[in-house]
A and B are shown apart, each in its own frame.
Chain A
Amino acid sequence: MNQARFEELKEAYVLGALPDDERRVFEEYLRDHPEHQAEVDELSGLAGLLALSTHEMEPPPHLRRNLMAVVESEARLSHSATRREARRSVLERLSGLFTAQRFALGAAALAVVGLLSWNLVLQGTVDDLEGEVAKSENVRPQPSGSETVKLKGSAATQDARVELVRLEDQRTILVAQNLPPIEQGRTYQLWVIDGDNPKPSSTFKTGDNLISTPVRSSLEGADTVAITIEPAGGSQAPTSTPMMSAKL
């Protein structure tokens, strides 16, 4: 790519008319020549005017409800994660303080005072967190027509938050945060269980901190959902112990 080629392709680029390989080359050139960015932005604005020429249509109301059900769920998870980070930070600072003081004042005396203080502060922090979480959950009403199922798990997943959001149109979205990383060649898999009969459902990775994925099987008639770790691609029957589950 050179200047002449850039000039030749810039209109096709802003219209989205470059094949993928040509688009990648164009974008690399643009990254290396940021002085052209303003010109491309201006052309993009002109091309974008076509979007305003469409026959205007009202989106169906359930689209907003479904979207907000997922957004509200993610907001709750994100809010909880932020609080957990704050709690960790407080504990780390206290831990550092405890270590420094131990050197200064002597181990035995400080152990008593330090632990007492640590316990009091921790208790207060936990109370604050619980209050704030409860408050946040109160001021974030679940969108009408949707229902959330929270999965619970073992100590290994204590930081993880996983919810199934059942939308008004019967579709279900799985929203997960802070699931432990898993090794290459493995995947998380959701199971929809009716009595003793687990049916395989969506597989998902935890590449992003927060993920959401559609649940591809119906929850109709099921009494439990669970998550296991399976070989990549998923299994037809669970090959490991459920790490999180919820009664429906």
Chain B
Amino acid sequence: MAKRTRNYLTLADEDLISLAETGDAEAFAALYDRHGRAAYSLAYRMMGEKQAAEDLVQDVFLKVWRLTGSYRAERGSVRTWILSIVHNRGIDQIRSSASRRRTQDKIEASATKSQPSEAFSEAWRNTQRDQVRDALTSLPPEQLKILELAYFSGYTHIEISELLDLPLGTVKGRMRLGLKKIKAYFDSRNMAVPG
């Protein structure tokens, strides 16, 4: 068993997905061990409390388990795929929730939450996170705020425009510029965008 576990640890995400598609629960467990923390961190950031984050992550990984065949490598990495499911399901839940936790106070508080974590076990992921944080801190605050309101809190562009009392065109423009600047950050350093 130990040997099998070691083998799973050395497999690429795409191989684990293929094995999980055949019903290999251990391969799926290895995927969870690799990406569960990132998924949970995103879920917690979006949902704002532990039980909701746990429910979301369980829901997402069950979907991953049942729909491994829908993963398309050409559309991005396995991690990106899993996190996009967390994001989409999280937005659905936030929007359908009667008690939307989205007050201006929480939004402003959340803007200060993105501090570097002290404990990263994988050096490469640590580096990627640092790069991403650098890229995000290079954005003007008004652009970053709009990206975070949309991505983490599930606001639509119309709601953001009302919330911040900005013309809708300005909100769209800041979204466009924000994403452009993130790309420019990596391009200017000849770095690949982390996936």
Contacts and interface: CB of A to CB of B under 8 A. Distances in A.
11 contacts: A12-B172, A46-B182, A48-B84, A52-B38, A52-B194, A54-B41, A56-B120, A58-B40, A63-B57, A64-B32, A64-B36
A59 B61 CA distance: 13
B119 interface: yes
A19 B66 CA distance: 27
Contacts of A68: 25, 29, 32
A8 B175 CA distance: 10
Interface stretch (A74-82, A194-202, A216-224, A232-240): A74-82
Contacts of B86: 51
Interface of A: 8-9, 11-12, 14-19, 41, 43-60, 63-64, 66-68, 70-72, 74-75, 78-79, 82, 140, 210, 212
Contacts, number: 155
A59 B150 CA distance: 24
B154 A16 contact: yes
A9 B175 CA distance: 10
B44 interface: yes
Given A11-B175, A53-B136, A41 B76 contact: yes
B97 interface: no
A19 B135 CA distance: 28
Contacts of A72: 25
B155 A17 contact: yes
B17 interface: no
A56 B41 contact: yes
A221 to B, nearest CB: 25
